[in-house]
């Protein structure tokens, strides 16, 4: 691939939140996982993974948990912003329309915190967490571009992480692992074949 082809692919990518009910094939899922796994990782540590959810009931439960958490949060929003927040929060669970969710998860490795002990500054601890977040951001971008290259739609979503702890339990993540994003992927609603 040359620069022009890559630039065209990147420029053509749009966030898609409406999907046909067409399921992804095993090959499509595997290709997206494979391309995501080629991502670089910070500090020489690949402390991340990609979970794929295709179970319709689980996706619906996840969306419901996000909607419930958003409704709770709305109770704490200043009254003059409540309606705006409600409109904004409606986007948090739009992943429910997708036939597949790609969920990059990460674990912070507190190497500097351990090595430096009491001399570790809050900035260093933040840096170690940020390293993992940056790593999974690379994973997410590759999944998004991979989906685009295959004629699929996708969207990088973080609003649903308002219910992050509930979603982590639903995904049965081990202690210490966190969800970095929710990436719904599918055939765009206005395009029936990929």
Question: What is the pLDDT, as a whole number, of residue 160?
Answer: 95
pLDDT greater than 80 at residue 47: no
- Structure-block tokens of residue 61: 């439960």
Question: What is the pLDDT, as a whole number, of residue 193?
Answer: 40
Where residue 45 falls among pLDDT bands split at 50, 70, 90?
Answer: low
Distance CA 41, CA 25 (A): 28
Question: What is the pLDDT, as a whole number, of residue 192?
Answer: 46
Question: What is the pLDDT, as a whole number, of residue 126?
Answer: 75
Domain 3-186 is in which class?
A: alpha beta
Question: What is the pLDDT, as a whole number, of residue 1?
Answer: 66
Distance CA 17, CA 47 (A): 28
Where residue 106 falls among pLDDT bands split at 50, 70, 90?
Answer: confident
**Range with the lowest mean pLDDT among 55-64, 108-117, 131-140?**
108-117
Calculate the alpha carbon distances from 64 to 22, 37, 130, 139 in Å: 22, 29, 29, 26
pLDDT greater than 50 at residue 122: yes
């Amino acid at each position: 691939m040359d620069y022009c082809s890559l630039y065209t692919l990147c420029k053509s990518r749009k966030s898609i939140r409406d999907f046909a009910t067409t399921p992804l094939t095993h090959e499509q899922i595997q290709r997206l996982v494979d391309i995501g796994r080629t991502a670089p990782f910070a500090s020489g540590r690949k402390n991340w993974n990609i979970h794929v959810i295709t179970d319709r009931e689980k996706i619906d439960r996840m969306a419901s948990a996000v909607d419930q958490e958003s409704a709770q949060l709305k109770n704490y929003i200043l009254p003059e912003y409540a309606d705006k927040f409600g409109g904004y929060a409606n986007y948090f669970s739009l992943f429910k329309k997708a036939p597949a969710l790609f969920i990059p998860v990460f674990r912070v490795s507190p190497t500097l915190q351990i090595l430096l002990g009491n001399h570790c500054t809050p900035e260093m601890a933040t840096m170690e967490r940020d390293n993992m977040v940056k790593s999974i951001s690379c994973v997410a971008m590759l999944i998004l571009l991979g989906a685009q290259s295959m004629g699929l739609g996708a969207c990088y979503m973080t609003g649903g992480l308002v219910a992050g702890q509930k979603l982590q339990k639903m995904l049965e993540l081990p202690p210490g692992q966190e969800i970095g994003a929710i990436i719904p992927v599918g055939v765009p609603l206005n395009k029936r074949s990929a």
